[in-house]
Structure 1
Amino acid sequence: MRGTVGYLAPEWFSGEAITPKPDVFSYGMLLIEVISGRRNKEGLDDGVENFRPIQLANAVNKWEDVIILLDCRLEGKANIDELSRACKVACWCIQEDEKDMPTMRQVIQILE
């Protein structure tokens, strides 16, 4: 096993064959950090509900305003459509089942 804690895809722990999808998972986790301006691991001591990927997924699933997830240093200055798209792509990338994850080609096409 190789990788950084917090970026490892579930496949690394399941014993299943490793595909290119763990890179997609890691990209999704990194995208969440770029959006929020903070490490995903911060706040885990406060409980799983404060884990940034869970906060992002809950906001996207409930159609909440994703601007609250944006890095506060940006002072809300972001294109909401682009932010929403990035949040949805991040959620798509970090799914537990690799069969449900996009390819990096799909990620790039959507973000472009």
Structure 2
Amino acid sequence: FEEELQDKATSLYKENYNVSRVDIVKEILCQFEKLYLDYIEKDDKKEVLDICRQYSAIINKEIYVIKNDQKELVDCIGINEEGNLIIKNKDGKLEEIMSGEVSIRGVKGYV
């Protein structure tokens, strides 16, 4: 890694893991299929939502919501049971943001 990234970035190789990329992709696809089938066949999206909430880079952070050419700084509160992003604007009003409506960026650029 370049010098500026050496304290921030890592790799599987650098961490002494000997895993093939094919095996990694295969395992990701197997796990995705399990979650997908739970959602499609059982209408169960709880595990998917739990994963999204746990690993979100934007929950509990200030983000910019961009609609058309309007940019608004808001607080990202969480993800609801339908998978919509819940935000709170500066007036304290809560809103649901659905995919395709906005482009989301953190305060310091892309999250």
User: Shorter chain as normaliser: what TM range?
Assistant: under 0.3
Greater helix content: 1
**What TM-score does the superposition give when structure 2 sets the normalisation length?**
0.22
Q: TM-score, normalised by structure 1?
A: 0.22
- Higher RCO, Cα 8 Å, sep 6+: 1
Q: Which has the larger radius of gyration?
A: 2
